[in-house]
Structure 1
Amino acid sequence: MKIKDASVFVTGGNRGLGKALVDEALARGAAKVYATARDPKTITTDPRVVPLHLELTDPASIEAAVAQAPDVNLLINNAGVTLAADLLDGDLAEVRREIEINFFGPLQVTRAFAPRLIANGGHLVNVQSTLAWFAMLGGYAASKAAGWSATNTLRQQLHPHGVGVTGVYAGWIDTDMAAERAAETDLKTPPADVARMTIDAVEAGQHEVLADDWTHLVKNALAADIPTLYPHLAATA
């Protein structure tokens, strides 16, 4: 689909990759962008942007936001959280929170918008992570792995209705979420670059965006033996 004159809905659109996606959609000629955040006052004041409150763990909040955006034909599920909850010894409540926000939240938003995407000939984007394929940061990786599976399933379910689905996979993006990862500074991709690749993929009808070299490496390694990705698990004689 073409972004020009489209009506776009971006979750977590007030900062980081979400703001970059809002800016890129506007630069490509989107007629309107609904941008959500817990505090809509933090969202850009561009007249083409409609700030909306959204709390992904609250079904009523999702319903209210969707009701205010009847003309959407591009949904971008971007909002998420990184708690890095340890699966074995960490707080189970934090694991549940990561799953609720990163998996069930986007799924509920998608379910709510699906009839409109179908009616409007739309497109769905799920911003995932390379950690969907690489076990790191505990509950976060688990939530993204679930999101990867859901994205693939939704692609098959929406395809007969003419709705495309694009999954976006990136390693470290230079945002507040990755600010503490100083060791990976040289590996961080600017959010504007990921946003550009994402919108390019939407317009080209591509199924996936692999935003950096590490993401390509990890995905290619999935067909190899486990120690290819995790050398410390190599068997010793």
Structure 2
Amino acid sequence: MELTDAVAVITGANRGFGRHLAAQLIERGAKVYAAARDTESIDLPGAVPLRLDVTDPESISRAAATASDATLLINNAGVAAGESLLDGDLDGIRRDMEVNYFGTLAVTRAFAPVLTANGGGAVLNVLSVLSWLHPGAAGSYSASKAAAWALTNASRDLLAPAGITVTGLHVGYMDTDMAANVPADRKTDPAVVAKLALEAVARGDAEVLGDELTHGVKAGLSR
């Protein structure tokens, strides 16, 4: 799709990776609805603040009605309790699944008719290398991202007849608040990953790998 003419809705756009995506789309000339639970936290020049809580059905419905001109949906909002599935906090495990999987599903369901009514478009789901790699210590996050990967693939088939492409971004650690405790040499510049992801959306790619770690993990799946 042509990103210059896009009207994008980005969840979790107030900071971190979402803010980089929003900034680069605005630089390309797109209209950007920067979605967050607290619109006061959105300070990006040129962005249109949009209140959206991915765990609140009424909030999602209102956002879809407000951003009725959308042609690009970016499901970026996420959390990482990273609980062990055997003895971790069950509320944290549920929270990862509610935001990362059910939240992505709910927002996609709400905006699919919007994109369809506007002649088609694209969806970008921000996934993770942990969609494929499942260390025990991060079981809840891995499970939620694996579920979101399945959602990405299934929705690609379902939305294709409406002229909507679906791209999954898999990436490891980025230099954002979520990875604040990770050593700097293990993190990727989120601006670089945002550029790769947006280029993939523009081409209509099904998948984009954001860093060398993710390339290595995917290559290892076949072994």
For residues 179 and 83 of structure 2, the distance between their equivalents in structure 1, rounded to whole angstroms, comes to 16
| TM superposition score normalised by structure 1 | 0.90
For residues 187 and 59 of structure 2, the distance between their equivalents in structure 1, rounded to whole angstroms, comes to 33
Instruction: State the match for 1:217 in structure 2.
Output: 216
Is the counterpart of residue 97 in structure 1 residue 95 in structure 2?
Answer: yes
SS in 2 for 1:4: helix
For residues 131 and 7 of structure 2, the distance between their equivalents in structure 1, rounded to whole angstroms, comes to 29
Query: By how many angstroms is 1:61 displaced?
Result: 1.1
The structure with the largest alpha-carbon Rg is 1
Query: By how many angstroms is 1:65 displaced?
Result: 1.4
What per-residue deviation string (whole Å, max 9, x for no partner) do you get for residues 135-160 of structure 1?
13110010000000110000111112
| TM superposition score normalised by structure 2 | 0.96
Which deviates more from structure 2 when the two are superposed, residues 6-15 or residues 52-61?
52-61
Instruction: State the match for 1:164 in structure 2.
Output: 165
Instruction: State the match for 1:203 in structure 2.
Output: 202
For residues 175 and 181 of structure 2, the distance between their equivalents in structure 1, rounded to whole angstroms, comes to 10
For residues 191 and 159 of structure 2, the distance between their equivalents in structure 1, rounded to whole angstroms, comes to 28
Instruction: State the match for 1:176 in structure 2.
Output: 177
Calculate percent identity across the aligned residue pairs: 52
For residues 6 and 216 of structure 1, the distance between their equivalents in structure 2, rounded to whole angstroms, comes to 29
SS in 1 for 2:4: coil
Segments of 5+ residues of structure 1 without an aligned counterpart are 225-237
Is the counterpart of residue 19 in structure 1 residue 19 in structure 2?
Answer: yes
For residues 85 and 162 of structure 2, the distance between their equivalents in structure 1, rounded to whole angstroms, comes to 38
Instruction: State the match for 1:233 in structure 2.
Output: none
For residues 54 and 160 of structure 1, the distance between their equivalents in structure 2, rounded to whole angstroms, comes to 27
Instruction: State the match for 1:148 in structure 2.
Output: 149
What per-residue deviation string (whole Å, max 9, x for no partner) do you get for residues 105-150 of structure 1?
0110000010111222210000000000001311001000000011
CA RMSD of aligned residues (A): 1.0
SS in 2 for 1:138: helix
> Contact (CA 8 Å) 2:85, 2:139: kept in 1 or not?
yes
Amino acid aligned to 2:169:
V
Q: 1:213 to 1:45 in 2, by over 3 A?
A: closer
For residues 54 and 9 of structure 1, the distance between their equivalents in structure 2, rounded to whole angstroms, comes to 10
For residues 148 and 45 of structure 1, the distance between their equivalents in structure 2, rounded to whole angstroms, comes to 29
Instruction: State the match for 1:81 in structure 2.
Output: 79
For residues 159 and 61 of structure 1, the distance between their equivalents in structure 2, rounded to whole angstroms, comes to 27
Q: Which consecutive aligned stretches of 4+ in structure 1 deviate over 2 angstroms post-superposition?
A: none
How many corresponding residue pairs?
220
SS in 1 for 2:151: helix
For residues 195 and 27 of structure 1, the distance between their equivalents in structure 2, rounded to whole angstroms, comes to 13
> Contact (CA 8 Å) 2:64, 2:114: kept in 1 or not?
no
